[in-house]
């Protein structure tokens, strides 16, 4: 277990999965997770944020496996057969299958390099014993891909995919879900364009990162 001060022997076991299956078309590159930012890839920034908060980490990816392996020794999780390129829901299904024995699976997208360092602590604080899902939001919108999932939801997610559902929020609406509001929306900034990439780079430089 991580020695991070946020964690304790009483805390539930948590595995994190970085959802890295998307393409960075608006960034002018192929793999968004591998786009460079301040001397590291977006993937490395996200892992650096979440790894100290959890017990284990994996990466959901469908392409460029050799390139990913040069960056990290964490497990790579391609979507299950027949579910390739069907959006984050397929990656979440694979993640829930891969970590059946933990209390929670944390999912985060690969393009959020400023995730809160107390993300897990904040989400857990609002989770009730009966909660199946806890996700982040701010004053502007919900961040459905930033969430704690019970592994027991795997069957439900697979059934949704098999039925043609790809909209994450529709599946989440069928779960006992809790929305946790964060005051600072900057922590959930998505890098979807060169302009946004440059803005985040400037923010990191100002912070001395």
Tens-digit pLDDT profile for residues 134-173: 999 999 999 999 999 999 999 999 999 999 999 999 999 9
Is the torsion defined by CA of 60, 63, 65, 71 positive or negative? negative
| pLDDT the model gives residue 146 | 98
Q: Looking at domain 14-206, which CATH architecture does it have? A: Alpha-Beta Complex (3.90)
Spatial strand order in the sheet of 76-77: 76-77, 56-60, 14-19, 104-109, 142-149, 133-137, 177-181
Q: Where are the domains of the chain?
A: 14-206
**pLDDT given at position 59:** 96
pLDDT for the residue 112: 96
- In the predicted model, residues of the chain with pLDDT beneath 70 are 1-9, 22-30, 80-85, 209
The model carries a pTM of: 0.90
């Amino acid at each position: 277990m991580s020695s991070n001060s946020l964690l304790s022997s009483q805390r539930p076991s948590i595995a994190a999965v970085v959802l890295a299956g998307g393409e960075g078309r608006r960034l002018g590159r192929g793999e968004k997770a591998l786009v460079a930012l301040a001397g590291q890839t977006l993937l490395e920034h996200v892992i650096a944020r979440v790894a100290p908060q959890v017990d284990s980490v994996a990466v959901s990816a469908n392409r460029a496996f050799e390139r990913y392996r040069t960056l990290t020794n964490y497990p790579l999780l391609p979507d299950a057969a027949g579910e390739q390129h069907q959006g984050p829901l397929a990656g979440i299904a694979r993640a829930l299958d891969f970590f059946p024995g933990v209390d929670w699976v944390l999912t985060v997208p690969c393009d959020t390099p400023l995730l809160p360092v107390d993300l897990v602590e904040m989400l857990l604080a609002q989770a009730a014993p009966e909660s199946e899902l806890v996700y982040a939001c701010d004053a502007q919108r919900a961040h459905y891909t930033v969430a704690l999932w019970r592994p027991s939801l795997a069957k439900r997610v697979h059934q949704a995919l098999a039925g043609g559902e790809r909209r994450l929020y529709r599946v989440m609406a069928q779960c006992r879900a809790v929305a946790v509001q964060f005051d600072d929306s900057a922590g959930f900034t998505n890098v979807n364009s060169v302009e946004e990439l440059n803005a985040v780079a400037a923010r990191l430089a100002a912070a001395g990162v």
